[in-house]
Structure 1
Amino acid sequence: MKAVTNFFDRMVQKYLPDAFLFAVLLTIIVYLLGILFTNSSPVQMVEHWGTGFWDLLEFAMQMSLIVVTGYILANTPIVRRILTTISTLANTPGQAVVLVTFVAGVACLISYGFGLVVGALLGIHVARRVPTVDYRILMASAYSGFLLWHGGLSASGPLLIATPGHFLEDVMGTVPVTATIFSSANLFIVLFLLFTLPLLNLYLLRSSGSTAANNPTLLQHDEQAFTEEESPKPDTPAERLENSQILSIVIAVLGLLFVVFHFAQNGFDLNINIVNFIFLFLGILFHRTPRRFLDSVTDAVKNAGGIIIQFPFYAGIMGMMVASGLSEQISLWFVSIATDFTLPLFTFISAGIINFFVPSGGGQWAIQGPLMIPASIELGVDTAKTAMAVAWGDAWTNMIQPFWALPLLAIAGLKVRDIMGFCVIILIYSFFPIAVGLLFF
């Protein structure tokens, strides 16, 4: 195990480029595949790329705000105390890895955006408490919790098909979450991974032989950023407004009243927008004055640069995959070799491959749903299980797809190659319980 872990770590460190260059290389690969395996000409592939380039602007803004609002909230005295209290449960490197993995997994089951931020921030606090822990493995552990998100309460595909009026309702009807998220297959996979991933990461820590401890500069910067400074005494009316606690309280109360209204009207709908909304207005309230809040914003936006510039490239990749029919060909090939027993497994594997190029749960379901559901009905396979197979395929290869790691890496101050070697082991390990759950439950 030590040899395998070190091999993948060395390969990633040596050959995996920066996350932006990874997106550029994927763009070129999809462009060439579209020309070779579809009827699209080189000019048409360029058109598909440019047309889709801006399709994820709303999503890019949501993910940028996850990083910014999460940092702002973590930079408040009350949240620092909470994270510090939780971090006291870890006194050794092994305990640190187990704690961060489990908490990140539970948080991602609640909401994927919430889980990414919580995992990264808790990891930083734990690293400050246990400075001998390998920081890279600790953050890989935090990211491993994201593997669970599409089996949890924010799973986009299962929630969509449970909503009346969804685009496949005439084919499969509406499917309640009791048949998807709360099915025996999904519960087996979720619980198995939730309780064994911490042990796997602990094993990775002990077998890696790595001596890469914390980055003292990073943690020193983090500690300085989380230090509350006394504001100078305001002299002018403008400065008094900037340091007014009343203004912060008024606008924060209005925001939090909307949150109460949202949950009263929609139940436990913890989507990405409401998570950002909660983070933002709690940040305003807990910082107490607009000046302290704005100072925190200035520090927070520095972490969002990678997301802002890379998400359009992934939107362009998705545009080429969909418009050229390349994603459809991949799905149909797996369907052609599937039986009633193997269709969930092949659906899962095909979804994992497509997720490399279309790293969006809702977008992927829009592509694969119209192909996999008719095949599922024809072969007599439960459509709910097929939908969960697409969901788990989307979550599975996130472990080696930098797209979703960007918010966590931005907060942690790491590059994708720092954690991806360890995530390869997590990817290989997680294939087996997911496959067992889809085939035998």
Structure 2
Amino acid sequence: MSGRSEPAARGTVIERAGEAIADVVERWMPSPFLFAIILSYVVFVVGMIVEGQGPTEMVGFWYDGFWAFLEFAMQMVLIIMTGFVIAYHPRVNDALQWLATLPNSGRQAVVLVGVVSMTLAWIHWGLSLVVGAIFAREMGKAAYQRGIDVHYPLLCVAGYMGLGLTWHWGLSGSAPLLLATPGNEFIELGVVEDTVGTSATVFSTYALALTALSIAYAAVVLYLLSPSPTRSRDISAYVSEDALLERGSAAETTTDDADDLAVDGGTTASASDSGGSDDTGDGPLPAERIDNSRLLGGLIALTGVAVIAWEFYSQGLDALTLNVLNFAFLFVGLAIYTRPMAYRDRFGEASEAAAGIILLFPFFAGIQGMMAGSGLAETIAAGLLAISTPETFPVVAWITGAIVNFFVPSGGGEWIVLGPSVLEAAHELGLETGHATIAYAVGDAHTNLANPFWALPLLAITDIRAREMFGYAVAMLLALIPFLAIALYVIPY
């Protein structure tokens, strides 16, 4: 890799401050797992001090809640894994390379990456997380090869904007989809009486207007933040020259049917995929042909897609739940790959990305167990009520979600911890559950722009360091504050 080159002039005050903050974060901020442990102790101590509970009682609440959200954790695992698998298909990479040829200036390149990232995040946050990173890198390479000056750190921030703005209001948003799932934890806790359909959250005019306006506003800010060509640092300052001359990205090395396999009608064989070959040299074994059968894979994939189509035909938009979303992307991915063995192998590669969710969610459930059992959740709800009115509550919910997201860097885990308190406060003020849910989700997504944890896949793919891009991420976070405050207050539900 070539060394980091610096522009002739230093960056703006905001950029330098952001880079300094990101550098401190990169050096000193502990892992999300340690955050979960620290928060467990914080809630443990606060429950004893504020609610007068004893240590034995608090440990009991923690233990009783620890395994309460296993189903939800598995749903989150499938979201990130199905998005990862689809994003790393070579055909997706081909489409990104074509899109990278469209911009004629650095500002256009940054805006296009940002809009794609934010739009995909509304559809599926796991897909946006990986595709946004790949697209930022491909756009940087295309601009370098075409002689277009584009600031690579800002390009990487644009690829991260989906996680920093629109994901939690969309089709894969943890909070709205959890409420729409039959028998969910909020029903069991008595917070809501029945499921809350996505027509009241994701597909409400409130959420749709907020999404459209936010994408447009963020695109303008990205355009204005783009440095002039003379101040831009292109991808060559961060990625080796050999990598810049390559045609594709890491996505192309995952599975390419023409390179890895011999295709014969509906059957395909690969020793690497099947784990073996015929010792006699007479060709693939029957088991290998079955494992790689496009006919079998395609048939089951089309069956799954047909089931999803029927669900929406019969139930409308309210058919969307976490289970339906995961079912849909599971079979769409199989339809793209068609070969069952290749699809299984891609899931094996995606499993590492989901390891953190598997580890963290039991701890989040334990935290919620302590908050609910000790009465701390009710106290928080009362605190929200004390400083809120029906008009200002969406803004208060947004700020609450933004603050807590610094300590619980997981939308689903955060909603499990404080969601009951937010909804109870909203109900006391006479606000709709869907209204409060979306407002809270805005805060959860917003402060991802100051949190490098979810950016780890992007940092690895783009070959950039956190402190080199988070100056602009913090600038985006600050620029969004007045817009979100006004939008949440003004847009009618």
Instruction: Please give the residue correspondences for 1:2-21 in structure 2 after superposition, counting only pairs within 5 Å.
Output: 2-21=15-34
2:68 counterpart SS class: coil
TM-score, length basis structure 2: 0.71
- Give the superposition deviation at 1:153: 5.3
The 1:336–1:128 alpha-carbon spacing in structure 2 relative to 1, beyond 3 Å, is: same
Q: Is the 8 A contact 1:154 1:270 kept in 2?
A: no
Q: Is the 8 A contact 1:37 1:326 kept in 2?
A: yes
Match of 2:340 in 1: 290
Q: Which amino acid aligns with 1:182?
A: T
> Between Structure 1 and Structure 2, which shows a larger proportion of helix residues?
1
Percent identity between the two aligned chains: 34
Match of 1:195 in 2: 216
Match of 2:139 in 1: 126
The 1:87–1:25 alpha-carbon spacing in structure 2 relative to 1, beyond 3 Å, is: farther
Equivalenced residue count is 434
CA–CA distance in structure 1, aligned partners of residues 458 and 388 of structure 2:
37
Instruction: Please give the residue correspondences for 1:97-246 in structure 2 after superposition, counting only pairs within 5 Å.
Output: 97-130=110-143, 137-146=154-163, 147-152=165-170, 177=200, 181-183=204-206, 189-202=210-223, 206=227, 214-215=238-239, 221-225=250-254, 227-228=256-257, 229-231=259-261, 234-246=283-295
The 1:90–1:7 alpha-carbon spacing in structure 2 relative to 1, beyond 3 Å, is: same
Residues 1:439 and 2:489 aligned together: yes
Unaligned runs of 5+ in 1: none
- Give the superposition deviation at 1:220: 5.7
Match of 2:44 in 1: 31
CA–CA distance in structure 2, aligned partners of residues 194 and 210 of structure 1:
25
Partner residue of 1:366 out of 420, 432, 436 = 420
CA–CA distance in structure 2, aligned partners of residues 187 and 304 of structure 1:
29
Cα-Cα RMSD? 4.2
Q: Is the 8 A contact 1:242 1:291 kept in 2?
A: yes
The 1:260–1:11 alpha-carbon spacing in structure 2 relative to 1, beyond 3 Å, is: same
The 1:306–1:412 alpha-carbon spacing in structure 2 relative to 1, beyond 3 Å, is: farther
- Give the superposition deviation at 1:432: 1.7
Q: Is the 8 A contact 1:322 1:367 kept in 2?
A: no
1:78 counterpart SS class: helix
Q: Is the 8 A contact 1:34 1:45 kept in 2?
A: yes
CA–CA distance in structure 2, aligned partners of residues 250 and 35 of structure 1:
57
Q: Which amino acid aligns with 2:440?
A: V
TM-score, length basis structure 1: 0.79
- Give the superposition deviation at 1:5: 2.0
2:260 counterpart SS class: coil
CA–CA distance in structure 2, aligned partners of residues 160 and 305 of structure 1:
21
Q: Is the 8 A contact 1:111 1:149 kept in 2?
A: yes
Q: Which amino acid aligns with 1:311?
A: F
- Give the superposition deviation at 1:198: 2.8
CA–CA distance in structure 2, aligned partners of residues 291 and 365 of structure 1:
40
Q: Is the 8 A contact 1:31 1:320 kept in 2?
A: yes
Task: Single out whichever of 88-97 and 72-81 deviates more from structure 2.
Answer: 88-97
The 1:140–1:32 alpha-carbon spacing in structure 2 relative to 1, beyond 3 Å, is: farther
Residues 1:46 and 2:80 aligned together: no
The 1:69–1:353 alpha-carbon spacing in structure 2 relative to 1, beyond 3 Å, is: same
Task: Single out whichever of 329-338 and 156-165 deviates more from structure 2.
Answer: 156-165
CA–CA distance in structure 2, aligned partners of residues 429 and 320 of structure 1:
36
CA–CA distance in structure 2, aligned partners of residues 367 and 305 of structure 1:
28
Match of 2:71 in 1: 58
Unaligned runs of 5+ in 2: 1-13, 263-268, 270-282
Q: Deviations over 1:56-97 (max 9, x none)?
A: 322322222223222322343433333333333346654443
2:53 counterpart SS class: coil
- Give the superposition deviation at 1:368: 1.9
Could you say which structure has the larger radius of gyration?
Answer: 2
The 1:225–1:204 alpha-carbon spacing in structure 2 relative to 1, beyond 3 Å, is: farther
